[in-house]
């Protein structure tokens, strides 16, 4: 039912109810058998009952429409994220294949082997991303844990995972952005950090939630930080989309710590 139809019904109901009642009362035997005071009380009661029934149905209908709109927005966010992943996968593999071809022509077998491993790792993670639907019954914490286990197996870097939030704390749109932050951060660890181990913590704090990602890799000094090279621009954009705050701390040869904090809804 369209909003225009609902608007017309909302306008007509009190008009027809009150006007119709008064018309019937003044043109039938009710006028002689029903006092003015009793009639006033009766129309008040009748209006209350009809208004309650109509408003209950109307708000239920609006809530259902809002739920469908929210689901559509969430699905759109999921599809946009998958399109981004597909483009990123295409660009990464195209670039890596070009470098592989160059190294093979130059006889650099060891470098070529490393590039093949990189392609394999990218494909494995992309397949995992596309295989899992964020709107399926699997919980968000479980999805994170599964992905990090897969990441650890592919990268060879130990990953310690600790999640202390209830399953439905974030809505699907927020989950998409958070999952992207996790993937970007751990992809950077695999590509750049030379770490032996990493850790992931997602927990409730006094005024909201906190996510920490740490590694024991080579880190970088402030003057060496290249936002584009390490994908930090993408992290910052995703964090801003969910209204959270990003902090990155890194010390040369002493690892990197990424902290994301968000407030309660």
Q: In this structure, is residue 10 part of a structural domain? A: yes
Same domain? 53 vs 145: no
Picking from 6-20, 101-115, 225-239, 248-262, which range would have the lowest pLDDT averaged per residue? 225-239
* Beta strands at 256-263 and 208-215: parallel, antiparallel or unpaired: antiparallel
Same domain? 60 vs 174: no
Are 232 and 248 spatial neighbours (Cβ–Cβ below 8 Å)?
Answer: yes
Selected residue with higher pLDDT from 107 and 34: 107
Are 47 and 17 spatial neighbours (Cβ–Cβ below 8 Å)?
Answer: yes
Q: In this structure, is residue 101 part of a structural domain? A: no
Question: In this predicted model, what pLDDT tens digit does every residue of 116-157 receive, in sequence order?
Answer: 766 766 676 666 656 555 555 578 888 899 889 888 988 889
Among residues 12, 40, 67, which one ends one of the domains? 67
Token pair of 235, please? 């992290």
Q: In this structure, is residue 113 part of a structural domain? A: no
Are 104 and 112 spatial neighbours (Cβ–Cβ below 8 Å)?
Answer: yes
Same domain? 152 vs 42: no
Q: In this structure, is residue 133 part of a structural domain? A: no
Is the CA virtual torsion 32, 38, 40, 45 positive or negative?
Answer: negative
Is the CA virtual torsion 182, 187, 193, 199 positive or negative?
Answer: positive
Q: In this structure, is residue 53 part of a structural domain? A: yes
Among residues 51, 67, 83, which one ends one of the domains? 67
Question: In this predicted model, what pLDDT tens digit does every residue of 46-96 receive, in sequence order?
Answer: 888 888 888 888 888 888 888 888 777 767 766 776 676 677 666 767 777
- Residue in the block written with tokens 């952005």: 177
Q: In this structure, is residue 94 part of a structural domain? A: no
Same domain? 237 vs 153: yes
pLDDT of the residue at 116: 75
Among residues 21, 37, 67, which one ends one of the domains? 67
Token pair of 138, please? 């699997």
* Residues of the domain holding 31: 3-67
Same domain? 152 vs 60: no
Total count of domains within the chain: 2
Q: In this structure, is residue 115 part of a structural domain? A: no
Same domain? 156 vs 257: yes
Same domain? 53 vs 148: no
pTM of the model as a whole: 0.57
Question: In this predicted model, what pLDDT tens digit does every residue of 4-18 receive, in sequence order?
Answer: 787 788 888 877 777
For residue 228, pLDDT beyond 50: no
Mean pLDDT of the chain, nearest integer: 79
For residue 213, pLDDT beyond 90: yes
Residue 163's pLDDT band (cuts 50, 70, 90): very high
Same domain? 173 vs 51: no
Same domain? 143 vs 265: yes
Q: In this structure, is residue 60 part of a structural domain? A: yes
Is the CA virtual torsion 108, 113, 114, 120 positive or negative?
Answer: positive
CATH number of the structural domain spanning residue 177: 3.30.565.10
> Who's near 34: CB < 8 A, 6+ residues apart?
25, 42
């Amino acid at each position: 039912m369209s909003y225009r139809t609902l608007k017309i019904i909302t306008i007509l109901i009190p008009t027809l109810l009150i006007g119709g009642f008064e018309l019937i009362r003044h043109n039938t035997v009710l006028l002689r058998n029903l006092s003015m005071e009793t009639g006033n009380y009766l129309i008040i009661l009748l209006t209350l009952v009809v208004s309650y029934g109509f408003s209950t149905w109307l708000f239920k209908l609006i809530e259902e429409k809002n739920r469908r709109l929210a689901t559509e927005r969430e699905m759109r966010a999921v599809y946009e994220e998958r399109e981004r992943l597909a483009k990123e996968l295409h660009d990464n593999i195209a670039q890596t294949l070009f470098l592989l071809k160059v190294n093979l022509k130059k006889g650099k077998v060891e470098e070529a082997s490393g590039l093949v491993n990189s392609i394999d790792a990218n494909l494995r993670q992309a397949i995992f991303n596309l295989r899992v639907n964020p709107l399926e019954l699997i919980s968000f914490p479980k999805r994170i844990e599964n992905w990090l286990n897969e990441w650890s197996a592919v990268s060879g870097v130990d990953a310690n995972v600790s999640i202390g939030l209830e399953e439905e704390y974030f809505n699907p749109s927020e989950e998409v952005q958070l999952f992207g932050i996790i993937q970007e951060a751990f992809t950077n660890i695999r590509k750049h950090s030379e770490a032996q181990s990493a850790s992931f913590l997602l927990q409730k704090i006094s005024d909201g939630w906190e996510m920490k990602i740490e590694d024991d890799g080579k880190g970088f000094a402030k003057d060496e930080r290249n936002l584009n090279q390490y994908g930090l621009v993408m992290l910052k954009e995703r964090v801003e989309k969910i209204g959270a705050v990003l902090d990155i701390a890194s010390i040369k040869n002493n690892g990197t710590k990424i902290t994301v904090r968000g407030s309660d809804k």
